[in-house]
Amino acid sequence: MSEQPRPGGTVPNPVIPGFHPDPSVCRVGDDYYLVCSSFEYFPGIPVFHSRDLVHWTQIGNALDRPSQLRLPLDSPSSGGIYAPTLRHHDGRFWLIVTNVSGDGNLLFTATDPAGPWSDPVRLAGIHGIDPDLAWDEDGTCWCTVAGVSQVGIDPTTGETLGEPYRIWSGAPGAIAPEAPHLYRIGEYWYLMIAEGGTERGHAVSIARGPSPSGPFEPCPANPVLTHRGIASPVQNTGHADLVQAPDGSWWMVLLAVRPRGGTPGWHVLGRETFLAPVEWVDGWPVVGEVTTELPTPAWPLHPAPAVPARDDFDRTELHPQWISPRERPEHLCTTKERSGWLTLRAAGASLDENDAVFVGRRQQHLACRARTLIDPAEGRGGLAVRLDEEHHYEIEAAPGEVKVFARIGSLRTEVAARPVPAAAVVLGVDITPEPPRGPRTGPDVLTFGIEEPDGSFTALGTLEGRYLSTEVAGGFTGRVIGMYAAAGTVHFDRFDYEPLPLP
C-alpha cells in the first residue's frame, strides 16, 4: 500500500493512506499487526501486517461474518464500528471494539490475526466508546474507555469485576477525552489519550502512575502531540497507539488528515494512519515530527506486495479491500454466478438508500483514476464515489444510455446523459487537483466519462470534490470508489484503480 523509500533517507507518510482511522498496533516477535475503525462498512475492522512499520499488507478483516457484525439497515453512516484496540496476550490476539449501532462493546479473539476471529463476547457492563485492554502482573485484565473510566473484566466471559470508576481525563476543560491506551513501561503505568475533538484541535496527551488505576500524574509537556494552529500539510493529529520495535526504539501510530485547497481546507480521503518516532526523555515520550515524509527507520525495509491495480474478479471470494455499507449478502453480490465477473443485484433504487448494493474500495491517493467494464443488459448500475447516502457522485449505465448523477445534501441532480450502444461499456472517473482559483480553490475535481473502443476517454461531467469531504458532509469516514446496482442485475468484468501524479 505504501510507496518505496525515496532518495534522501525518507519514506512516504501516511504509511496506510486513505480511510484508515483510529489505528491500534501490537508486535509479536518481528511482526507488527494493526487494525482500524470501519464504521458502517462490512466486512469490518481491516487487519494489516508489517515487518518494518512502513509497508503494510491487508491480510483480512476481523469481522467478516454477520454473526460478528450486526449493522441494521437503519443505522446511519458513520455509525457502526468505532476504535478497536488490538493486543497480544498469553498466546492469543485480543480485539475489543464498540459497535455504536446496537451491540455496544464487544471482544473477539484469534490465534491467527488473519482469521478466523471468534464470535463476539458481549461486554454488557462496559459503557463508553474506544475500549482498551491491558493486563497487569497479577493477570487482571483492565478495560478503559473514553471519558476516561476503567474497570476490571473477565475477558473470557465479558463479566465486569466491580464498578467502573474515573481515572484521568486529560487537560481541565478539554473536550472529548477518548482513545485511552494503558501501558506498563519501565516502572510506571502510562495512560495515553486523545482530546480536543477529532477535528483541527485533535491532540494526544499522556499521564503516568504507579498502578493501572493511578493515581495519574500528567506529563508537564502535554499535549505531547498536536498540530492545532500549525501550518502543516498534516492536520487533526491524534488517536494514537505506541509500539516498541525489536531494537528497543519506540514508535507511534496515529490518525491525521491531509487537507487540500483553500479555506478552510477539505480532506477527502478520510483520516489516515501515520507513523512517528518516539524518544523517551525523563520518563516521558517525545514525539517526532509528523509530516508527509518520514525518516527511514534504521532496520531493513520489507516492501509489501503491491495490491494489483486491476481486479478481474477471478477469485471465488472478494479481496479483503472490498467493502459494502452495512451488509453484503451473497445472493446480492457474488463472483460465482458468471466466471470472471462480479454480479450485483439491486435492492435499494439508488445510492441514496441505506440498502443500496455497493462494493467499493477506499480512495487512497489524492489523484487517481478508476475504470470498470459493466454489462447492464439485465439492469442498471455503475461506478460511484461515495462518502455517505447524501454525498456521492456516480456514472450509471442502462441498456443504450449512460448518465452522470450528483447527490449533495438534499439535492439530487442529473449532470449529463449520452446514448451508447446497447452493450457492455467501460465507465470511468479521473480525480485530479482543482486548478487554483484563490481562497475558494477546492481539494480536487472528479471527471466522469466513458472509455471509447480505441482506449480514449470521453468526459461527460466534471464535479467539484469539496462536496465529498468531511468538512462539507460531516461524519468520520472517507471516500470509497466502487460499483453498484440500482435496478435488476448488472455484471462487472473488471475494476482498475491507479494513482495519478500530482502536479
Beta bridge partners of 231: none
Residue 450 CA to residue 271 CA, distance in Å, equals 31
Residue 44 CA to residue 39 CA, distance in Å, equals 8
Q: Compute the C-alpha angle 323/260/230, nearest 5°.
A: 115
Provide the grid cell at 61.
Answer: 478483516
178 is catalytic: yes
Q: Are 17 and 364 in contact (CB under 8 A)?
A: yes
Q: Are 330 and 476 in contact (CB under 8 A)?
A: no
* 424 class by beta-carbon count within 10 Å (0-12 exposed, 13-18 middle, 19+ buried): middle
DSSP-derived secondary structure for 33-55: EEE---BTEESEEEEEEESSSSS
Provide the grid cell at 104.
Answer: 455496544
**304-320: buried (b, 16+ CB within 10 Å) or exposed (e) per residue?**
beeeeeebebeeeebeb
454 is catalytic: no
A 10 A CB-CB count for 31 gives: 12
Cα 404 versus chain centre, distance? 27
Please tell me whether residue 470 adopts helix, strand or coil conformation.
helix
Residue 420 CA to residue 15 CA, distance in Å, equals 42
Taking phi over 0 as left and psi of -120 to 50 as alpha, with beta for the rest, 204 belongs to: beta
Please report, as a single letter, which amino acid is at residue 441.
T
64, 103, 132, 178: the catalytic one is 178
Gyration radius of the chain over CA positions: 23
Q: Are 429 and 385 in contact (CB under 8 A)?
A: yes
Cis before 116? omega within 30: yes
| Catalytic sites, residue numbers | 22, 178
